[in-house]
Structure 1
Amino acid sequence: MSHSPTSRPALIVVDVQRAFDQWEAASRRRNNPQAVARIVDLLNAFRACGAPVFHIRHQGTHPNSSFLPDGTGYPVKDEARELAGEPVIVKQVNSAFIGTDLEARLRAAGIKTLVICGATTNHCVETTTRMAGNLGFDARLVRDATWTFDRIGPDGDAHSAEEIHAMTLANLNGEFARIVSAAEAITALRDA
Structure 2
Amino acid sequence: MEIAENAALVVVDVQKGFEELGYWGPRNNPGADDNIAELIDVWQSTGRPVVFVRHDSVKPESPLRRGQEGNELKEYVARRRGKGAGPELFLTKTVNSAFLGTPDLGAWLKESGIGQIVLAGIQTNMCVETTARMGGNLGYDVVVAYDATYTFDLAGPFGWRRTADEVAQASAVSLHGGGFARVVTTAEVVESASGAGVPVPPGAAG
TM-score, length-scaled by structure 2: 0.86
1:187 corresponds to:
191
| Superposed CA offset, 1:87-112 (max 9, x none) | 21001100001143100001100011
Report the alpha carbon displacement of residue 65 of structure 1 after superposing the two structures with TM. Answer: 2.2
Which residue of 2 is the match for residue 164 of structure 1?
167
CA gap of 1:158–1:179, structure 2 versus 1, over 3 A, is same
SS in 1 for 2:142: strand
Q: Does the 8 Å CA contact 1:7/1:111 hold for their aligned counterparts?
A: no
Report if aligned partners of 1:31, 1:162 keep a CA contact under 8 Å in 2.
yes
Say whether residues 1:56 and 2:53 are aligned partners: yes
Which residue type is aligned with residue 133 of structure 2? R
Query: CA separation of 1:188/1:86 partners in 2, compared to 1, >3 Å: closer, same or farther?
Result: same
Aligned to 1:16: 14
* CA offsets 1:82-136 (integer angstroms, 9 cap, x no match): 4226321001100001143100001100011101000000100000000010110
Please give the alpha-carbon distance, in whole angstroms, between the structure 2 residues aligned to 1:18 and 1:7: 31
Aligned to 2:202: none
**2:96 aligned counterpart, secondary structure:** coil
Aligned length: 186
Gaps of 5+ in 1: 1-5
CA distance in 2, matches of 1:62, 1:164: 23
Q: Which runs of 5+ in 2 are unaligned?
A: 198-206
Q: Is the 8 A contact 1:151 1:161 kept in 2?
A: yes
Aligned residue in 2 for 1:107: 110
Equivalent residue, structure 2, for 1:86: 88
| 8 Å contact kept, 1:12–1:54 | yes
Moved over 4 A (4+): none
Matched, 1:128 2:131: yes
Distance in 1 (CA, whole Å) between partners of 2:52 and 2:172 is 22
- Give CA deviations for 1:63-95 in whole Å, capped at 9, x if unaligned: 222211101210000111242263210011000
Q: What do the CA deviations read for 1:21-49 (whole angstroms, capped 9, x no partner)?
A: 01x25571000000010000101100110
- Aligned-pair CA distance for 1:8: 2.2
Q: Percent of pairs identical after alignment?
A: 40
- Asked if structure 2 preserves the Cα contact closer than 8 Å seen for 1:8 and 1:189, the reply is no
Q: 2:62 aligns with which of 61, 65, 69?
A: 65
* Alignment of 1:32 onto 2:36: no
